[in-house]
Structure 1
């Protein structure tokens, strides 16, 4: 299995088997070692301020965290030579968020949202990612920095 096939397989598994992300409507739409993207559509269950009808801050932070975690996972997979599904799973089981910073730039309004991330640094133990959240009009809603345990 080549690197792209491994990325695709993990994205499919995570989209199908992460109940919290399914609850929020998150879908991994891009998964590789240069950039990840998480997309989701507006739904009233995501409201954080009913008077303004904007995204809950926790939804924004969760989308950024998932995008950062996905690109950190991709950096782990990219550094593996030929690896079985079991070896990939064992390595990804060590993945976890150490620190997450979210900066809210404007209210989370829109119909469709995309959280994207890229790696700033990927080491043998820790990876750091930079994330952004935009709506369908490309309004920059939030950005974040995440630090992830990768081994």
Structure 2
């Protein structure tokens, strides 16, 4: 995406999603499947994999995998929310800040054991300013059981 001449918010959103999906080795190792929904909403699916097991006796998802998927969906949603708000003359400047974005703080509440064959993470923006966004994230299994919740603060500008 070196040619910024025809960069639109939609193309920037596609670039961000592609980057998180295909250029982040950790996300690939965890098996993240990033999907966009309507209006720049994002969900991440993560299939069960025995290498992600934190409790082999009960076959429960490791808390680190839970935190990683929540953090990733929070980051993406914070960026997508910002991209959605951009005016056409602001796209290039926003793209130039992407390398400096990151997690400032995150809290995870583990609500029940992570059992399931697939885990689905979603997030929403609680508040976003010029430089910082606060998001609320949730993780459910394929049966809709609420596994964990999180709140993340992200540097986004």
State the shift of 1:108 in Å.
0.3
Counterpart contact for 2:127–2:134, Cα < 8 Å: yes
Q: 1:36 aligns with which of 30, 39, 42?
A: 42
- Return 9-18 or 105-114, whichever deviates more: 9-18
Residues 1:121 and 2:127 aligned together = yes
Instruction: Look up the match of 1:8.
Output: 14
- Greater C-alpha radius of gyration: 2
State the shift of 1:148 in Å.
0.5
Structure 1 pair 70–32 and aligned structure 2 pair: CA distance change class (3 A): farther
Q: How does the TM-score come out when normalised to structure 1? A: 0.90
Q: Deviations over 1:27-67 (max 9, x none)?
A: 21127766321111000010001111110000000000001
Residues 1:74 and 2:80 aligned together = yes
SS at match of 1:93: helix
Q: Deviations over 1:91-150 (max 9, x none)?
A: 211211011000000000001111000000010111000000001000000000000011
Unaligned 5+ runs, structure 1: none
Instruction: Give runs of aligned pairs for residues 92-107 of structure 1, distance below 5 A.
Output: 92-107=98-113
Q: Deviations over 1:66-101 (max 9, x none)?
A: 010001111222232226986454221121101100
SS at match of 2:120: strand
Q: How does the TM-score come out when normalised to structure 2? A: 0.87
State the shift of 1:13 in Å.
2.6
How many equivalent pairs are there? Answer: 151
Instruction: Look up the match of 1:27.
Output: 33
Counterpart contact for 2:75–2:154, Cα < 8 Å: yes
Instruction: Look up the match of 2:138.
Output: 132
Unaligned 5+ runs, structure 2: 1-6
